[in-house]
């Protein structure tokens, strides 16, 4: 299809408005940082669901199976939330009250706290 030059300027503002709107939504919703975290959480929960469905009814009633199920789901959700919080803090660019720079805290202490 051939577009006449006289018709092209009519579509330019519409296309630019559409692109600007999509870019605004992506930035406002922080999709670049939240989408990978959500995908990782969904993957972890899907894996544990497949594992859980593969267990027999007797195995599902065992306390260690229930503990593993809860631990995996809680860890996935905490990691997603932690990634969101770190992204929000790094966007602020401020120092934390304890003197650490944003996002530069003790990662091992946080991981041990999550495991405990």
Residue 71 covered by a domain: yes
- 36, part of any domain: yes
Count of domains for the chain: 1
- pLDDT (0 to 100) of residue 81: 87
**Residue 82 located in a structural domain:** yes
Query: Residue 70 domain-assigned?
Result: yes
In a domain, 9, yes or no: no
State pTM to two decimals.
Answer: 0.56
H, E, C per residue of the chain: CCCCCCCHHHHHHHHHHHHHHHHHHHHHCCHHHHHHHHHHHHHHHHHHHHHHHHCCHHHHHCHHHHHHHHHHHHHHHHHHHHHHHHHHHHHHCCECCCCCECCCCCHHHHHHHHHC
On whether residue 103 sits in a domain, the answer given is: yes
The per-residue b/e assignment along 41-57, b for 16 or more CB within 10 angstroms, e otherwise, is beebeeebeeebeeeee
Q: Containing domain of residue 63, as a range?
A: 32-115
| 39-98: pLDDT as tens digits | 999 999 999 999 999 999 999 999 999 999 999 999 999 988 887 787 777 777 655 565
Whether 14 is covered by a domain: the verdict is no
- How far is the C-alpha of 49 from the C-alpha of 41, rounded, in Å? 12
């Amino acid at each position: 299809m051939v577009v006449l030059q006289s018709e092209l300027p009519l579509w330019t503002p519409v296309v630019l408005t559409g692109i600007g709107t999509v870019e605004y939504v992506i930035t406002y919703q922080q999709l670049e940082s939240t989408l990978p975290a959500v995908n990782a959480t969904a993957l972890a929960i899907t894996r544990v669901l497949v594992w859980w469905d593969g267990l027999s009814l007797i195995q599902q009633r065992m306390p260690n199976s229930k503990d593993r199920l809860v631990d995996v789901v809680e860890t996935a959700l905490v990691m997603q939330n932690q990634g969101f919080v770190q992204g929000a803090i790094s966007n602020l660019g401020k120092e934390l009250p304890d003197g650490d720079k944003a996002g530069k805290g003790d990662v091992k202490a946080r991981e041990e706290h999550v495991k405990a």
